[in-house]
Chain A
Amino acid sequence: MKRLSVPILLVILFSILMGLSYFEVIDLYVQTVILFMGINIITSTSLNLVNGNMGEFSCGHAGFIAVGAYVSSILSVALFTKSRAFGPPILPPELAAYGFPFVLICGGIASALTGLLIAIPSFRTRDDYLAIITIAANYIIITAIINIDKIGGARGFMGMKRVIFAMEECAEIPWMVLWVFLFTVLTVIIIRRYMSSTYGKGVEAIRQDEIAAEIMGVNTNRIKLVTFMISSGLAGIAGGLYAHTVGYVNPKSFDLLKSTEALVMVYLGGMGSITGSVLSAVIFTLMLELLRPLQIIKWVAIPLLLIIIMQFRPEGIMGHRELGDIFPKLKKFYKFK
């Protein structure tokens, strides 16, 4: 029972979401907000791995999201639809539903490799310097995209909606709800498994005392690279899901503001807490929607909130603790490691 409670809860939540979307109880707008929640959960939990658990300060998360978004969009559009840029579909469009997860994972792998490329030179530096390098990387990625005319340059890249239509040819279900849910759960499981293994505890050791970690036998350079790659790879998957939810990507939507959003979510939730990152992603997404009528003033209200949090609860909502640490009695009912 203890072992099954989390999977059962997830199946129930999944059925509810799919049911509500399928019978159109919730409209497309609410659906999109829910999808954004999932995507933001992936974004914040993956950034939390580097900023919260490892204690490095990465500020360019949106760069990796952009790589994943573009790579998976280009692949899915080129493979499954007729487009002006890439001509007729390479594979029969009926395969879209089966091919989509692979396309997403390819986007993730591309992001992870980009992460590796940035991590190798930047891990010789630390702290502030790493922050500056990741900001620079964020800009390099965006500028590179703007200057590739084949994928739309500054105008952006579209056509992903047709991929969704191709999937719907196969079966008339809310596909994006399915994919976002699946990959969100997968992300949280991956991070949880990583951090609860002895290997992953090396990440915590690096944050708390890197020199002691290295001397006690932890290959700190390697573990930092691996962690950074996992983080950026998952960000790439978030990017792919975002691109296919919106149906359109534009380099401007992956600038520093997006990276800042990711940082806000991590600090709001609490450094190093997966529960906190999930919770804050949900709250943050809701808040963005509720404050939408304020338009640009929204970006006065949200930083203000961040200042208030830093003043009165600097450790964030959860503050380096998980659900089970706050409600120890709950541990009797679930097992999630």
Chain B
Amino acid sequence: MPLLEVDNLTQLFSGLCAVSELKLSLEERELVGLIGPNGAGKTTVFNIVSGFYQPTHGEIRFQGRKLTGLKPHQVSALGIARTFQNIRLWKEMSVLDNILVAQHYHLGYGLGGLFLRTPRYLKREKDIRNRAFELLEIFKIDQFAEEKPTNLPYGMQRKVEIVRALSSGPKLLLLDEPAAGLQATDVSELITLIQWVFDQFDLSIWMIEHQMKVVMSLCSQISVIDFGKLIASGTPEEIQRNPEVIKAYLGDDQL
């Protein structure tokens, strides 16, 4: 059974067809890419998978469970986490708090326990905090735990956002253009980081990326969409040679 199945997905925005009859599937322990020209509907696909949009038609199944109709926080609880194209960390909270809040769905205590400070509450809060620190240490950013994200360099903010997504313990990590806005040196660092995350954590990664260097060096499988339609899928080498893809990116010269 595939980890994620996207079946005949169609998304209409008052007449505009953003995604059209998209069919895709993702296996466990896979690092795959989704590419396409600007406005092709890549982020829309991610927004549907994470429950932010309800698709017009079609279905998404995660580990055999239907995702359509679920709220974003319920999707997140099932084990899908994501990052955003334009970093969306909570800017006025410390890095540590950002990572704590992302564990919100499995707090394991009620309001009664919270106000009375029951032993269970204290233990759970401690566990959550330890887990956050553990992650910060693994990624060597524990020295920034009390810092506000806006005080960190852009590349570091990306890293924090990835750590935040990982803190909920996802089985599928969606990365929406992780290299956007990064400098060339930071990009190679990011490639190493993503590969490392994939090796260290038991999860699948699905990423949208514009920079070919990133996609080509990381992904085992790539899907290409244009105007919301799947136009090609295959290994990086196949994609690079595919005439449809070249046409979508470079334009049709046989006009």
A interface, CB within 8 angstroms of B: 190, 193-194, 197-202, 204-205, 208-209, 211-220, 226, 320
CB distance from A324 to the nearest CB of B (A): 13
Interchain CB contact under 8 A, B114 and A218: no
CB distance from A168 to the nearest CB of B (A): 31
Contacts of A217 in B (CB 8 A): 73, 76-77, 81, 102-105, 168
Contact of B100 among A193, A201, A208, A215 (CB under 8 A): A201
Q: Is B115 an interface residue (CB 8 A)?
A: yes
Task: Kindly state whether residue B232 has any CB partner on chain A within 8 Å.
Answer: no
- A198 near B105 with CB under 8 A, answer no
Q: Within the complex, what minimum Cβ distance (angstroms) separates B168 from chain A? A: 5
Chain B residues whose C-beta falls within 8 Å of the C-beta of A193 in the assembled complex: 114-115, 117
Q: Which residue of A lies closest to B97 (CB)?
A: A201
Q: Which of B50, B97, B115 contacts A215 (CB 8 A)?
A: B50
A204 and B90 contact, CB distance less than 8 A: yes
Q: By the criterion CB–CB under 8 Å, are A215 and B125 in contact?
A: no
Query: Is there an interface contact between A194 and B104, defined as CB atoms closer than 8 Å?
Result: no
How far does the alpha carbon of A193 sit from the alpha carbon of B92 in the complex, in Å? 19
- Residues of B104-140 at the interface with A, using a CB-CB cut-off of 8 Å, are 104-105, 107, 109, 111, 114-115, 117, 121, 125, 128
By the criterion CB–CB under 8 Å, are B88 and A211 in contact?
yes
Residues of B within 8 A of A215 (CB): 50-52, 72-73, 76, 82
Q: Please give the distance in Å from B132's CB to the nearest CB on chain A.
A: 9
Instruction: Given contacts A216-B168, A217-B103, A219-B73, list 10 more A-B pairs with CB under 8 A.
Output: A199-B111, A201-B93, A205-B101, A212-B88, A213-B101, A215-B51, A216-B76, A216-B165, A217-B76, A226-B111
Residue in B93, B104, B109, B165 whose beta carbon sits within 8 Å of that of A208 in the complex: B93
B247 at the interface (CB under 8 A from A): no
Q: Is B71 an interface residue (CB 8 A)?
A: yes
Nearest chain A CB to B176 CB, angstrom units: 11
Nearest CB of chain A from residue B63's CB, rounded to whole Å: 17
Q: Which residues of chain B (63-101) have a CB below 8 Å from chain A?
A: 71-73, 76-77, 81-82, 84, 88-93, 97, 100-101
For A213, what are the chain B residues with a Cβ–Cβ distance below 8 Å? 90, 101
Known: A197-B125, A204-B93, A208-B91. A214 touches B111 (CB 8 A): no
Q: Which residues of A contact B97 (CB under 8 A)?
A: 201, 204
Tell yes or no: B164 within 8 A of A by CB: yes
Determine the chain B residues whose CB is within 8 A of the CB of A218 once the complex forms: 73, 101, 104-105
Tell me if B88 and A198 are in contact (CB < 8 A).
no
Say how far B241's CB is from chain A's closest CB, in angstroms.
36
Q: Which residues of B contact A197 (CB under 8 A)?
A: 114, 121, 125
Question: How many Å lie between the Cα of A274 and that of B194 in the bound state?
Answer: 41
- By a CB distance below 8 angstroms, the chain A residues around B92 are 204, 208, 320
The 6 closest A-B CB pairs, nearest first, are A217-B76, A217-B105, A212-B88, A208-B90, A214-B72, A215-B72
Name 16 A/B residue pairs within 8 A (Cβ), A-sorted.
A194-B114, A198-B101, A198-B128, A199-B111, A199-B114, A212-B84, A216-B81, A216-B101, A216-B165, A216-B168, A217-B77, A217-B104, A217-B168, A218-B73, A219-B71, A219-B105
**Distance in Å: Cβ of A139 to nearest Cβ of chain B:** 31
Which B residues are in CB contact (< 8 Å) with A198?
100-101, 103-104, 107, 125, 128
**List of A residues within 8 angstroms of B102 by Cβ:** 216-217
Instruction: Kindly list chain B residues whose C-beta atoms are within 8 Å of the C-beta of A214.
Output: 52, 71-73
Question: How close is B199's CB to chain A, nearest CB, in angstroms?
Answer: 24
Do residues B93 and A205 form an inter-chain contact, with CB atoms below 8 A? yes
Name the interface residues of B47-63: CB closer than 8 Å to any CB of A. 50-52
Which residue of chain A is the closest to B82 with respect to CB atoms?
Answer: A215
A80 to chain B, nearest CB (A): 28
Q: Which residues of A contact B82 (CB under 8 A)?
A: 215
Q: Which of A190, A194, A211, A219 is packed against the most chain B CB atoms within 10 Å?
A: A219
- Chain A residues near B100: list those with CB within 8 A: 198, 201
B162 CB, nearest partner CB in chain A, Å: 12
Please give the distance in Å from A49's CB to the nearest CB on chain B: 14
CA distance A174 to B50 in the complex (A): 58
Are B104 and A199 in contact (CB-based, < 8 A)?
yes
What residue in chain B is nearest A229 (Cβ atoms)?
B111
- Kindly name the residue among B72, B77, B117, B164 whose own CB sees the greatest number of chain A CB atoms within 10 A: B72
| Chain A residues, CB < 8 A from B72 | 214-215
Please state if B88 and A209 are interface contacts (CB–CB under 8 Å).
Answer: yes
**CB of B147, distance to nearest CB on chain A (Å):** 14
B115 surroundings in chain A (CB, below 8 A): 190, 193-194
Most chain A beta carbons < 10 A, residue from B51, B92, B109, B168: B92
Query: Which A-chain residue is minimally distant from B110 (CB atoms)?
Result: A199
A216 pairs with B125, CB closer than 8 A = no
B234 to chain A, nearest CB (A): 30
